[in-house]
Structure 1
Amino acid sequence: MTDLLTVRDLTVSRGGIAVLEGVGFTLASGAALILRGPNGIGKTTLLRTIAGLQPPVSGAVSAPGGLAYAAHADGLKGALTVRENLTFWARLHGTADIAPALTRMNLEALADRLAATLSAGQKRRLGLARLLVTGAALWVMDEPTVSLDAESVALFGQVVRDHLAGGGGALIATHIDPGLTAGTLELSPFRARVRRLDGFDEAFG
């Protein structure tokens, strides 16, 4: 098995204040890891740091094969159709065929709808469908089932299981059971002692 992600002694901050410190784990191909912890502990901050969207205070992150990140925001262009949104992301990542993503996330009937006209759940399914067109082996997801109904949660769970079966990996912050065989990392033991990091300010938490 290949390690898709290695996190070593990572300290991350929000608003110039360390929130988690000493975080370390590895994620191998075919495996999923669920991040747990109370609201505000720093799950989103940790995922953003792992995704390279903000610098760590200390420690290191290695994702040799790259990753795809699905955040709280779906990252859609409202003036583009479902098909056009997926085509944009597919071309950005050097892939071409969006048909499997439309099928797997039950979006075929919505392919020519403007993203701005979709319901919250439909937008979420489209946001998650982007993962399928990136070609990335590692999926990093922040509360991916928000706005999804039970049927769509089950659909998403099957998509992730198939991704893992193909040698991919998944790192997920969620409060619900996504229906996966996965390890769990409780973040409470990594809560940082409160201290301000002088001279360090962030645009995002």
Structure 2
Amino acid sequence: MDLHVTDLAVARGGVPVLEGVSFTVASGEALVLRGPNGIGKTTLLRTVAGLQPPLAGTVGLDREAMAYAGHSDGIKATLSVRENLTFWADVFATDRVDAALAAFELRPLADRLAGNLSAGQKRRLGLARMVVTGRPVWVMDEPTVSLDVNAVAMFAAAVRAHLAEGGMALLATHIELGLAEARLLELGGFRAKAPAADDFDGAFL
């Protein structure tokens, strides 16, 4: 099972931002998307994950095989760390709570309310959800925001373990993760062309 993206075109706010994007991520591989702010990395990831429709092209893998982590940590402040992960384990019908706690060194914080965590600890909890899902494809947008050097290393180790189990990862990040397994895809060459001056309808998409 591979992730195939073919001739994908995506839009933000109705305005095309990327077009003709094609790539494959095979089992055990990670692909890192690179490009300047505003180029459309988040839009591309959300489209691949099935959270918004493409303008054109195909994503050749069932969205049910994917787990998405965006800018929000996706945690409930009034639940403990363990309760947050248990909630997601119930949603995805897995028993991977302990594995997630271990991967992000959250065991000492397991009984602490999520609302009382630091920004970095909240981010680690949010990323631990990916382990809990048990899904083969991790789609992640700037996953290392708020993480210190040690936590970045935890995250990289979690990704390596996921790949070693045959999983796949698609990430947008400006941080060097030290993942020798990761390939890079620069998105600069896929910028969508601006509508022609005489294209009245296109100019107001």
Same fold (TM > 0.5): yes
Which segment is superposed worse, 105-114 or 57-66?
57-66
8 Å Cα contact 1:18/1:197 also seen in 2 = no
8 Å Cα contact 1:16/1:197 also seen in 2 = no
Give SS of 2:115's match: helix
Q: CA deviation at 1:96?
A: 2.3
| Residue in structure 2 matched with residue 102 of structure 1 by the alignment | 101
| Residue in structure 2 matched with residue 192 of structure 1 by the alignment | 192
Unaligned runs of 5+ in 2: 196-200
Divergent runs of 4+, >3 A: 195-200
Cα deviation digits, residues 143-199 of structure 1 (max 9, x gap): 111100000101111111111111111001000111112111000000001237588
Q: CA deviation at 1:97?
A: 3.6
Per the normalisation by structure 2, the TM-score is 0.93
| Residue in structure 1 matched with residue 15 of structure 2 by the alignment | 17
Which segment is superposed worse, 83-92 or 190-199?
190-199
Cα deviation digits, residues 110-169 of structure 1 (max 9, x gap): 111111111110000000000001011110110111100000101111111111111111
| Residue in structure 2 matched with residue 203 of structure 1 by the alignment | none
Which is richer in helix? 2
Unaligned runs of 5+ in 1: 201-205
| Residue in structure 2 matched with residue 129 of structure 1 by the alignment | 128
**Alignment pair present for 1:173 and 2:175:** no
8 Å Cα contact 1:138/1:168 also seen in 2 = yes
2: distance between equivalents of 1:141 and 1:158?
Answer: 15
1: distance between equivalents of 2:129 and 2:119?
Answer: 16
Q: CA deviation at 1:93?
A: 0.4
Q: Percent identity, aligned pairs only?
A: 62
Change (3 A) 1:21 1:79: same
Q: How many residues are paired up?
A: 198
8 Å Cα contact 2:8/2:56 also seen in 1 = yes
Give SS of 1:38's match: coil
Aligned equivalent of 1:32, options 18, 30, 55: 30
Per the normalisation by structure 1, the TM-score is 0.93
Give SS of 1:178's match: coil
8 Å Cα contact 1:75/1:127 also seen in 2 = yes
Q: Which amino acid aligns with 1:33?
A: L
